[in-house]
Amino acid sequence: MKSKKNILIISPFFYPEPISTGKFNTDFAVGLKDLGHNVKILCYHPLYPTWKIKKTTSKINNIEIIRGGKFLWFSKKPFLRRFILELSYAFFILRKIKSSQKNIDIIIPVFPPSLAFFSIIPFLRKNIQKVGMVHDLQEFYSEEKKGFIFKILQTIIHRTEKKCYNSCNKLIFLSNEMRNESENIYGLKNTKLEVQYPFITVKHHFTNDLEHIFDNTKRHIVYSGALGEKQNPEKLYDFFSKATLSIENSIFHFFSKGEEFNKLKLKNNNPNIFFHDLVKKENLEELYLKSDVQIIPQKKGTSKGSLPSKLPNLLASDCKVFLITDQNSELEKLFKEYSLSFVATTWNNETLIKNLKNLLNKKIDFEHQKKVARNIFTIDKMIEKILH
C-alpha cells in the first residue's frame, strides 16, 4: 500500500443509517479503513430516512466517529428540516473542526449539506487536501420552486455551493451529468473535476428471512430505499395502483420509511399494494433475489441532479431492473450502451404498464448485467481518485 493517510469525512449521515448517503458514507469509510488509512468522521446520530434522531453508541472498529445532533428536532416540512440540518450541522462542525483537523492529510466534505464546509473554509490548514464528494446538486432541485422566498434561497444555495466547490482541490461527482451541470453553473476548472459512479456493496450473502412476504406463486414488483421528492412517490404509487388492474397475479411492494412513505401507506386501500419497513442490511440480497422486478424511479427533469446509489447493487444481483428516467439522460444512455433492461423515459401509466409486462416476460442475461456492474461500479476507482 502507498503511504497511509489521515482522512476526515464531513457529513451528518453515517452508520448505522441503512440507506442513501449514510450507507454510502459508511461503506466508503470502511473501504478506506480496510486499505490501512486512518479515518475519522464528524457526523450526527442516525436521522435518515425518518428525520428523527436515534441516539446510538454504535461503533466501527478502527474508525473514529464523533457524533452530534442528539437533541435535534426536524420539521415534517422538507424546506424547514433542510434548513435545520444545514444550520445545526454548520454549528457542530465549527465547534469541532479545530481539534479534528490535527494531523489530517485529506478532508472529504460530502455535499449536501454545504453550509458546514462553507463555514470552516477560512479555518482549514492550507496543507490539507480538500476533496469534495457531490451526491446531489441542491441548486438544481431548488430551481423548480416558485416564489420570492425561494428565489432568495436559490441565490444563497448558488453562492454557498459555488464557494464550497471552488475551494476544493478536487471534486468527485457520481455522474457526468452532475459534473457538467456544476461546471456550467459554477464556472469550475475542469482539471479538478472527476466522475466516478457509486459502487457495489452487496457481498452475495443470502438469507431466508423474507419468505413470509414473498408468495412464490405471485410476481413481485418492488420499490425499496429512500422515498422522497426526487423518486416521484405519488406518481409511483399511481403507476402501481393502475398496474394491479392490468397485470394478473402480481403484488406491488414499497420497502421504505419516512413522511412520503407514511402518506402513501395511509391512503392505500389497494389489496395488491403492500408497505413494509426497510429490510435489514443482511436481508438486502434476499430482497433483490425474491423481487421479480425492482423499480428505480426519477422524477421528470431531475436526472441531472443525482444518480441512484442503489443502482450498482441491483445490477450486481439476479434481479430485473426497471429504470424510469429522463429522455437522453446519462442513465438512459448507459442502459442502451450496455444493453441493460429496462429503461422508460415517460411517466405515462399506459406505457409504463406495457413496458413492465414485457420485462416480466423477458429473459434477462444476469451474468452480462453483473459483469457490466463489476466493470463500472467499483469502490477501488473511487478511492484511487480521492487519494491521488
Pull the grid cell for residue 202: 452487496
Instruction: Kindly state the helix (H) or strand (E) to which residue 221 belongs, with its residue range.
Output: strand 219-224
Q: What is the tens place of the pLDDT at every residue in 229-239?
A: 899 999 999 99
Instruction: Kindly state the helix (H) or strand (E) to which residue 83 belongs, with its residue range.
Output: helix 78-100
Pull the grid cell for residue 248: 394478473
Q: Is 194 helix (H, G, I), strand (E, B) or coil?
A: strand
Q: What is the tens place of the pLDDT at every residue in 141-181?
A: 555 556 667 778 788 889 999 999 999 999 999 999 999 99
pTM of the model: 0.91
Residue located via cell numbers 442502459: 335
Instruction: Kindly state the helix (H) or strand (E) to which residue 167 belongs, with its residue range.
Output: helix 148-167
> Which residues are CB-neighbours of 302 under 8 A, at least 6 positions away?
140, 141, 230, 326
For residue 325, the model assigns a pLDDT of: 97
Prior bond of 46 cis (ω within 30°): no
- Domains in the chain: ranges and CATH: 6-195 (3.40.50.2000), 219-375 (3.40.50.2000)
388 residues of the chain, pLDDT tens digit each: 468 999 999 999 999 998 899 999 999 999 999 999 999 999 999 999 999 999 999 999 999 999 999 999 999 888 899 999 999 999 999 999 999 999 999 999 999 999 999 999 999 999 999 999 999 887 665 555 566 677 787 888 899 999 999 999 999 999 999 999 999 999 999 999 999 999 998 888 889 999 999 999 999 999 999 999 899 999 999 999 999 999 999 999 999 999 999 999 999 999 999 999 999 989 999 999 999 999 999 999 999 888 999 999 999 999 999 999 999 999 999 999 999 989 999 999 999 999 999 999 999 999 999 999 999 999 999 999 999 8
- Burial (CB < 10 A; 0-12, 13-18, 19+), residue 241, is middle
For residue 154, the model assigns a pLDDT of: 82
Report the amino acid identity of residue 86.
Answer: E
Pull the grid cell for residue 129: 487536501
362 phi and psi, to 5 degrees? -90, 140
Q: Is 229 helix (H, G, I), strand (E, B) or coil?
A: helix
Alpha helices in 187-273 (DSSP H): 233-246, 259-267
